[in-house]
Structure 1
Amino acid sequence: MKVEKAQPQDAAELSRLLSLLLEEETPEETVKDLIEKLSIREEYALLAAKEDGKVLGTAMGVLCQDVCAGARKFLVIENVVVDERSRGKGAGRALMETLEAWGKAGGAYYAILVSGRKRRTGHAFYRALGFQEEKGFRKYF
């Protein structure tokens, strides 16, 4: 298995995976367009875990500039999803470790993520990676 930045040809598989995450369709053309736009922005990492040319999972990292704590950066992790048939085989861990290494190399001093209340398996996964549960809030517009 390898983890690399998502490529335009991965758009169909990423679209399918992202619809599993939110139970809402993300059109393939939208994903392809975003892959191309984000690939030139150094503060974004949209990753794909692949095996034998097939996308097993995806995750996105965004390096944000903090204004306190020495104005260091922090890493926001979003859209972590692994195909149901591929879970438990290391794709999620590989994605998260790659994002963490990328964030550290970019100057991040911590990482944050938000996970839906019902994703208990995901929560156990994040804890196993060293994330601590803290209070968080989200507001949709």
Structure 2
Amino acid sequence: MSKQVTVEKARPEHLRDIVAIVNAGATSVRAGKDFADWQDYRPAFDALREAAEADIYVALDETGEVVGTFQIHFLKGFAFQGRPRVQLESVHVRPDRRGTGIGRTMMERAEALAREAGACMVQLTSNREREGSHHFYRRLGYDQSHLGYKKMFV
């Protein structure tokens, strides 16, 4: 288990590592593509950090190294008496650190943030190619309750 991991809001000095971790986990239309310089992600990173309804987090090991990341979005809605729901995106653990409890620690932090915000649920999507991730989410109590659809514009 990864007891030494801390989860905190991402800072600018984490950006390079976040990009590397997310791109290492690329699947489907992103798999095998050469992505531009990590600095090209700066506007998206800054926008997430500045948005009132979203944020980006990192998991840091005992040495301060970035070993995981996720984005959290607080969505307004009408159902459940207007309570927000939380959408998690880009949940990634560095490939060499998977299976050590980092993902569980990140999910626990995300769920705590959702509860603090009064959210009615946490939802996420996972690429159908990520069978290991599906097993992970089911072990954490997530139900595959819906079918998802996407229309790609890239």
State the number of aligned residues.
Answer: 141
2:69 is aligned with 1:65: no
Describe the SS at the equivalent of 2:150. Answer: coil
1:17 match: 21
Which residue is equivalent to 2:132? 121
Unmatched 5+ stretches in structure 1: none
CA offsets 1:38-58 (integer angstroms, 9 cap, x no match): 223232121100111211010
Deviation at 1:129, TM superposition (A): 0.9
Is 1:92 the counterpart of 2:103? The answer is yes
> How far is the alpha carbon of 1:77 from its aligned partner?
0.7
Q: 1:5 aligns with which of 3, 9, 13?
A: 9
- Point out which structure has higher relative CO (alpha carbons under 8 A, 6+ apart): 2
Amino acid at match of 1:126: Y
Query: What's the RMSD between the two structures over aligned residues?
Result: 1.5
When normalised by structure 2's length, the TM-score is 0.84
Structure 2 gap segments, 5+ residues each: none
C-alpha distance in structure 2 between counterparts of 1:37 and 1:115, whole Å: 23
Matched letter for residue 80 of structure 2? A
Letter in structure 2 aligned against 1:85: D
Does the Cα contact within 8 Å between 1:15 and 1:26 map onto a contact in 2?
no
State the SS of the aligned residue for 1:108: coil
Q: Does 1:45 align with 2:50?
A: no
Task: Report the Cα offset of residue 26 of structure 1.
Answer: 6.1
Q: TM-score, normalised by structure 1?
A: 0.92
Q: CA deviation at 1:118?
A: 1.2
Q: Distance in 2 between the 1:125 and 1:95 partners?
A: 12
Q: Displacement, 1:139?
A: 2.1
Structure 1 equivalent of residue 151 of structure 2: 139
CA distance in 2, matches of 1:9, 1:120: 32
Percent identical pairs in the alignment equals 28
Query: Tell me, what secondary structure is at the counterpart of 2:120?
Result: strand
Does the 8 Å CA contact 2:84/2:120 hold for their aligned counterparts? yes
